[in-house]
Structure 1
C-alpha cells in the first residue's frame, strides 16, 4: 500500500479503535464485578468434581492415623489424685503468727499451684521413687531412635557448615549428677499437670506415663510430698521460733536481773526520797524565799532612812525622818541652849545607831536566808534528779519484766506445738490405677485424621481449580472475551491428522460433524445481509486445533454445495500438508511471486470436497508477504472464483500474520482449545486484535472432552457433549 492509503485507513480506524477499547473496558468491569462474588454452587460443584481425590486423600489420612494410633503411638495412662486446701484449722495453742493457716484467696490458691509444680517438691518425688533409674524420665538410659540420630546428624551438619566445632566442656561427676537430676525433674514436670477446680479449694494432680501403676504412684507421691512439705515447713518454723524464743527469753532474763540490781544499787547509794518529802522541801524553800524578799525590803528601807537622815539639813527634818517620838519632842523643846542641843544630838545618834544595828541584823539574816535557800535548791535539784532516775530504772525493770513474761509465755506455746503441726491441705482422693490408656484416643485420632484428610483434599482441589484458568464452557469464554462462541467442537477419536476427513466422511452424524454444522450456521447467520465469504481461523498458540477446525469447516461448506478454497496462511510451519497426500511442491508463495498460476498449484481433494492451496518455504518474510498488494489482489481474485475462502493462519501470540491477513477477511474465528488455552493468553491475543482496531467474529471452543465435561459437572447440560447426546449422534 502507499503511504496515503495507509494514512487514510488509520484515520478511519481511530474511532473504531476507541469504540473497541470502550467495549472491552466495560466487559472487564463486568467480569471484575462477577469475580468479587462467591458462587457457593460453583464451589460445591468444584468439590464434588474432585470427590474421588478428596476421598482418596481422606482414606490415606485415616490409614495413616490408624497406623499411628494402633502401631506407632506409645499408650499413655493418666492418674489423678485430689488435694483439698483447708483454710481454717484449730490451733491447740494460740500461735497463729508462727504457723497460721491459709486465707484461701486467689493469690494464695495460685501460689499453692506453683508450689505443687515447684522443682524442689518434684525433686523429692524423684528421689523418693528413684525416677533417675527410669528410662522414661532419664533420657540418657534410652537407646537413641531413628529420629534422634537424624536430629543429631542434622545439627552436627549445621554446626559443621557454619564452622561451629567447639565441644561442650567436660563435667565433673557431681555436676553430671546435678544435671541428670535436673533433667529428670524437667521430664516429670512435663508429664504432670496441676489444676484448681473453679470456685473451690480443690487441686487435681494429673500424671501421664506409659505405665498405669507408675502414674498412680507418682500422683500420690506428689500429693503426699505436698502435704508433708507443709508439715515440715510448719515444724521448721516452730523449731526456729522455739530456738529464737529460748535465746530471747534467756537474754531478757539477764536484762531483767541487771535492771532490778541497778534499781537496788541506786536505791542503796542515795537517800531514800519520796515525792511527798520533796514537796515539803519545796514549801520550805518557798517560805525562805518569802522571808528573803521581806528582809530585802527592810534593808532597803533602813538604807534609805539612813541616807535621808544624812542628807537632812534641819533638826526638824531629821526628827521627821527618824520617826522617833522622843526625838521629835526634843526637837520641839529645843530652846537654842547647848544642853537641849546635846540631848537632841545624843538622841539622834542613838536613833542612827539603832538604825545601823537593825540594818546589820537584817543583812545577816538576809545572808543566812540566801545560804539556806541555795542549800535547799541544791538539795531539791539533786533529789529531783535522783527520783527521776529511780523512776526510770524502775520503769525499765518493769518493761523488761513484762517483755520477759510475754516471751516466756510464747515459748511455752511454741513448745506445746512441737509434733502436732497440721498441714494446710489433705488428700481427699488417692489416684486410681487406670485400666485404659488416655492416649492415644484412637477414635478421636481417626476422626481428626479423616477431617484433616478431607480438608487437605478439598484444599488441593480448590487450589488446583484456582490455578486452572482455562475454559470449560462457552459461558466462561464469552464472559472473558466478550464475544459469542459460534461453535463447540468435541474431540474426535482419531490418532493422526490425516484421519480427520475420513472420520467426518465415515460418521456424518457424529457429534463433531454436527458441531461443525452448528459452527457453519452460526458463521453464516452472524451477518445475514452480507454473509462472510473470506473466513479466517486462528488461535493463541500452536497445537490448539485451529487447522482441524479450518479443515472441518471447509468440508462442511463443500457438503452443502459451496465452492470452497482452503488456503494455508501459515508460511512458517506449513502443517496443512499433513492432512493430504500431495506431491505438488509449489503453492501460495509461488502464486504471489508470479512463479506459477493459481490453477496450476491448487488441487482438489475428494475427501474435502473442495480445493486446497498449500504454501511452501520462502525467504521472504511472511508478514511482508501478506502485507503486499499482491496478496490483497490475490484475495480479491479467489473471492471471484470461490463461494467461501477459509484461511488457516498462524497463532496470534507467536507472529503477527493473522492480524495482517484479518484485514482481508470477512469473518475472524478465534479457536480456543478446551481446558488448555489459558485466560491470560486469550486476553493478550484479543488485546493485540483490539490494538489493531480489529474485531473477531466469534470463538470456537475446540477439543471438548465428553468425559472431562462430566468430570467438571457439565455432562448433562451442554449441547453435543451432554448426557443425552448419544440419542442423536453416532460418534
Structure 2
C-alpha cells in the first residue's frame, strides 16, 4: 500500500530538487546564510572582541615601560679630497647609496658599539646604571622559576637516596674576563633595542635606542654617534698620514731618478767635450731646479692659504696662530675668550644694555676686528708670497726659454743627448707633481674634519614608547573579532548536518515537505499548548503546510495513515507527530496518535488520564483497539500507546499486529499518525513503514549527520520503502529568509 501511495504522491505533487539547487555547488557561498549567522551571534562577536582587547591591554600593561631616544647623523654630501693608489694619487669620492649603506653597516657593527659602551662606562654614575641592566643581575623569569621549583622538588624527592659528596672547591675568578662578559651581556641588551637605518634616500642616518631607562637610551645613542665621528677623524688622519708617508717615499725615489738622469746628461756632455757650453747648460739646469722648487713652494703656499681661509671661516684662530707662530694672534684670541667669559658671567646679573656689557661688547668687537685684520694681514702676506713666486716662475720660464733658444742656435743636439734630456725632463715633471701633491697632503693632515656630523642629538624621553596599551587593545579587539568571524563562517559551512532545505533536497533527491522552527519546550507535548496559544505562529503554519501537502485522505479515499520517524533520538519526531495529530484534528478529522515507540512511550502519560487498558493490554488480549484509545486533554485527537511511560520495556508489536492495529483503527478514525522509534536504534520502524501511506523522515537542523540520514534511508530502501518527504526540525527562524508570522484580530459591534 505504501509503495504505490508514495510514488503517486511524489509524481503528482512534483517534489523535485529546488531550482536554486543548481547554484548550490561546492564553490557556491550563500552570503545571506553567513550574514544570518553573524546576526545570530552578534553578542558573541562583541564579547570576544571586548575580552580580547582587555586581555591584550592587560598583558601590555604588565610589561616594563620602554623609552626611546634617537640621534640623527648627516653624512657630508660634498666632494672630499682623498688620496688613492699609485695610478691615481688624488681623486674625488662622491657619496652614493652603496657608500651610505656601508656606513649604516659600520654603525651596526658590534666593535663600534662596544667602543660606545666603554665611553659611557667611563662615567661612574652612568656605569652604575648600565651595570644594573646586566641580565645576570635580573630576577629569574617565569620559566626559570618553574625550573627552579621542579629542581627543588626533585632534589627533595630523591635527596634521601643520594649521597652527599664533598663540596666543590671554588676556582679563583678572572675579574677581567668577568668584566668583559658583563660588557658583552649589557651590549647584547642594548643591541636588542638598537635600530640603525637610513632615512629614505637622504644622507641622514637615524640611530634609535630603546631601553627601560630613558637616560640610558639617550646617552648610548649620543655615544654611538660621537664614537662614529671620532673614528672617522682617526681613520682619516691615519689614512692621510699613511698616504703622506707613501708620497714622501715616491718623492725621494723620483728625486733620485731625476738626479741620475741629470748626471747622465752631464756625463754625456763631458764625454763629448762640450766644455764651451758647460756654463750655459749648468745655468739652465740650475734655473730648472729653481723653477721646480718655486712651483713646489707656490703649490704649498696656495694650499696653506686655502687652509687659512677655511680655518678663519670656522673660527679656528688658534690653529692659524700655532702654525704661524704668531704671539700677537694668540694674545688677541686669549683676550677675546677672557672677555667672552666675563660677558657670560655678567649676563646672569646685568642686561645687555648695561654700560659694562656695552663696553665689553665694544672691546670684543675691537678685538675681533684686530684678529680679522691680523688674519687678513697674514693672508695678504701669503698672497703676496704666492704672487712673488708666480712672478719668479714666469721670469725663470722666460730665462729658460731664452737659454734653450740660445742652445738650439749653438748646436744641433744628437739623438742620444735628446733622449737623455727627455728622460731627465720626465723625471723632473714627475718629481714636481709628486712634490706638489705631497704639499697638498701635508696641508690636509693639519686640517682634520669628519665626513659626518650630528644634526639632531638624542634627548631624554619623558614618555614611554612602549608598550602601547591602546594599540594592543585595538589589535586584540581586531584579532578577537577576526577569529570569531572566521569561527562563525567556518561553523556555517563546516557542519555535520544540514542548514538549508534545498541543501537537504539536493543531497538525497527527496522533497522537503517543510521546516519546523525551534520552539523552547521542556516536553514534546508542550507543542500543543504553543499552537493553542498562537494558531498563526510560524510553527502552526509550517505544520499546516505539511498536512496540506499530504492531504486528508489516501488515493483510495480511505483513512490516511502516516508514520513520523527519524534516524536517531532527539530529532523532534514525537513533537512532530503530536503537532500533526493536533493539526488534522483542527480540520475536523477524527485523528488518532499511535505511539509505537514502546520503549520510550510519552504520549499516553502526557496527554491522557485514567487507568484503563492501553496498547500493551490490546497486544496481550486483542479485541477492539478503540477501547484502548483516549481523548487528549490538550487537543481534539485521540491517543493510544503504553501508559507506563518511558523506561517501560514492553516487547514491540509484530508486523501482523501493526497491520491489525491500523486496520481496526481505520474503521473509526480518518487520520492515523504513528510515532515510530528511531531507525538506527530500533528496527520497529521498518515494519511500521510497510503498513502506512506516508513515511515522514525528520532531520534535525545542524545536528543530524548526513551519514546518519543516509544510513536510515538505506535501511528503508532494503525493505522496499522510500520516504514521502523529509521534514527539517528545530530550525532557526532567523536563519530562514522566508520566516514570517501573522496576527489577526476581529471585532464585532
Fold shared, TM-score > 0.5 on shorter chain: yes
Contact 1:46–1:465 (8 Å) recurs in 2: yes
Task: Give SS of 1:55's match.
Answer: helix
Note the C-alpha offset of 1:117: 1.8
**1:236 deviation in Å?**
0.9
Aligned residue in 1 for 2:389: none
Are residue 669 (structure 1) and residue 696 (structure 2) matched?
yes
Q: Please say if 1:124 is aligned against 2:115.
A: yes
Kindly provide the CA deviation profile for residues 235-255 of structure 1, in whole angstroms up to 9, marking residues without a partner as x. Answer: 111222344455666677788
C-alpha contact (below 8 Å) 1:58/1:449 kept by paired residues: yes
Q: Is the CA contact 2:553–2:670 (under 8 Å) kept in the aligned structure 1? A: no
The structural deviation recorded for 1:56 is 1.2
TM-score (norm 1): 0.63
- CA positional deviation for 1:233: 0.8
Indicate which of 138, 143, 150 corresponds to 2:139: 143
Deviation of residue 666 (structure 1)?
Answer: 0.7
Structure 1 residues 80 and 694: alpha-carbon distance in aligned structure 2, compared to 1, 3 A threshold? farther
Indicate the residue corresponding to 1:234 in structure 2. 236
CA contact (8 A) 2:591 2:673 kept: yes
The offset of 1:661, in angstroms, is 2.3
How far did 1:123 drift?
1.8
Query: What is the rounded CA distance, in whole Å, between the counterparts of 1:526 and 1:154 in structure 2?
Result: 78
Distance 1:582 1:81 in 2: 97
8 Å Cα contact 1:81-1:219 kept in structure 2: no
* CA spacing shift, 1:548–1:57, aligned 2, 3 Å: closer
Matched, 1:415 2:442: yes
Q: In the superposition, relative to structure 1, how do residues 532 and 196 fare at CA in structure 2: closer, same or farther (>3 Å)?
A: farther
Deviation readout 1:279-300 (Å, 9 max, x if unpaired): xxxxxxxxxxxxxxxxxxxxxx
1:135-214 maps to which residues of 2 (within 5 A)? Answer: 138-146=134-142, 149=145, 176-214=178-216
Q: Closer, same or farther in 2 for the Cα pair 1:447/1:73, shift >3 Å?
A: farther
CA distance in 1, matches of 2:50, 2:530: 45
Aligned equivalents of 2:178 and 2:602: distance in 1?
A: 82
- CA distance in 1 between counterparts of 2:708 and 2:561 reads 25
CA shift at 1:204, angstroms? 2.6
Deviation at 1:108, TM superposition (A): 1.5
* Superposed counterparts of 1:268-667, under 5 Å: 272=271, 410-468=437-495, 470=497, 482-486=510-514, 488=516, 491=519, 493=521, 495=522, 503=529, 519-524=546-551, 530=557, 533-557=560-584, 562-571=589-598, 573-574=600-601, 576=603, 578-579=605-606, 587=615, 591=619, 596-599=622-625, 602-605=628-631, 607=633, 609-610=637-638, 612-614=640-642, 625-626=654-655, 631-632=658-659, 635-667=662-694
Q: CA deviation at 1:179?
A: 4.4
Match of 1:108 in 2: 99
Is the Cα–Cα contact under 8 Å of residues 565 and 613 in structure 1 kept in the other structure? Answer: no
Report the CA distance between 1:60 and its aligned residue. 1.8
Conservation of the 8 A alpha-carbon contact between 1:101 and 1:424? no
Sort the Cα spacing of 1:86 and 1:488 in 2 relative to 1 into closer, same or farther, 3 A.
Answer: closer
Shift of 1:128: 0.9
**Structure 1, unaligned stretches of length 5 or more?**
1-8, 158-168, 276-386
Aligned residues of 2:21 and 2:502 also touching (Cα < 8 A) = no
Query: Equivalent residue of 1:87, what SS?
Result: coil
Q: For the structure 1 residues 410 and 631, does the alpha-carbon distance in structure 2 shift closer, same or farther, using more than 3 Å as the test?
A: same
Specify which of 726, 739, 742 is matched with residue 718 of structure 1: 739
Deviates more, 1:642-651 or 1:526-535: 526-535
After superposition, give the CA deviation of every residue in 1:88-146 in whole Å (9 maximum; x if it has no partner): 13689999967866312222222122122222222221111128751576322322333
Post-superposition Cα deviations, 1:45-79, rounded to whole Å, max 9, x if no partner, equal 32222111111122223323433455535142232
Matching residue of 1:368: none
Aligned-partner SS, 2:219: helix
What is the distance in 2 between the residues matched to 1:571 and 1:500? 21
1:538–1:669 Cα contact (<8 Å) kept: yes
Change (3 A) 1:613 1:79: closer
Q: Distance in 1 between matches of 2:96 and 2:119?
A: 32
What is the CA–CA distance in structure 2 between the aligned matches of 1:583 and 1:685, rounded to whole Å?
36
**How far apart are the structure 2 equivalents of 1:100 and 1:180?**
45
Is the 8 Å Cα contact of residues 471 and 676 (structure 1) preserved in structure 2? yes
| SS of corresponding position for 1:418 | helix
2:220 aligns with 218
Measured in 2, the distance between the counterparts of 1:669 and 1:574 equals 19
Aligned equivalents of 1:147 and 1:693: distance in 2?
67
Separation in 1 of the partners of 2:244 and 2:252?
Answer: 12
Partner of 2:46: 55
Query: Which segment is superposed worse, 596-605 or 55-64?
Result: 596-605
Judge conservation of contact 2:527–2:575 (CA < 8 Å) in 1.
Answer: yes
- Aligned equivalents of 1:35, 1:527: Cα separation in 2: 39
SS in 2 for 1:205: strand
Q: How much has 1:85 moved relative to structure 2?
A: 2.8
Give the secondary structure class of the aligned counterpart of 1:115.
helix
1:48 and 1:587, CA in 2 relative to 1: closer, same or farther beyond 3 A? closer
User: Alignment partner of 1:140: what SS?
Assistant: helix
Counterpart-to-counterpart distance in 2, 1:603 and 1:458: 53
1:155–1:58 distance in 2 versus 1, CA, 3 Å: farther
1:37 aligns with 2:28: yes
Question: 1: distance between equivalents of 2:524 and 2:67?
Answer: 67
- Whether the 8 Å contact between 1:83 and 1:203 is mirrored in structure 2 is yes
CA displacement 1:556-591 (0-9 Å, x = unmatched): 545655444443433555555544567678846974
1:588/1:614 contact within 8 Å kept: yes
* Alpha carbons of structure 1 residues 26 and 171: separation in structure 2 relative to 1, 3 Å: farther
Relative to structure 1, is the Cα distance of residues 528 and 253 closer, same or farther in structure 2, using a 3 angstrom cutoff?
A: same
Give the deviation of 1:686 after TM superposition.
Answer: 4.0
Deviations 1:625-678 (A, max 9, x none): 33xx56545544543454333222121233443234222211112234455434
Report 1:252-271 matches (<5 A): none
Indicate if the aligned counterparts of 2:241 and 2:445 stay in contact, CA closer than 8 A: yes
CA contact (8 A) 1:85 1:202 kept: no
RMSD: 5.3
Q: Distance in 2 between matches of 1:226 and 1:700?
A: 81
**Matches of 1:67 and 1:509, distance apart in 2:** 53
Q: Distance in 2 between matches of 1:525 and 1:93?
A: 110
Q: Distance in 1 between matches of 2:234 and 2:247?
A: 19
Distance 2:674 2:88 in 1: 109
Q: Indicate the larger mover: 393-402 or 135-144.
A: 393-402
- Normalised to the residue count of structure 2, the TM-score between the two structures is 0.61
- Contact 1:550/1:648 (<8 A) preserved: yes
Q: Secondary structure of the equivalent of 1:193?
A: strand
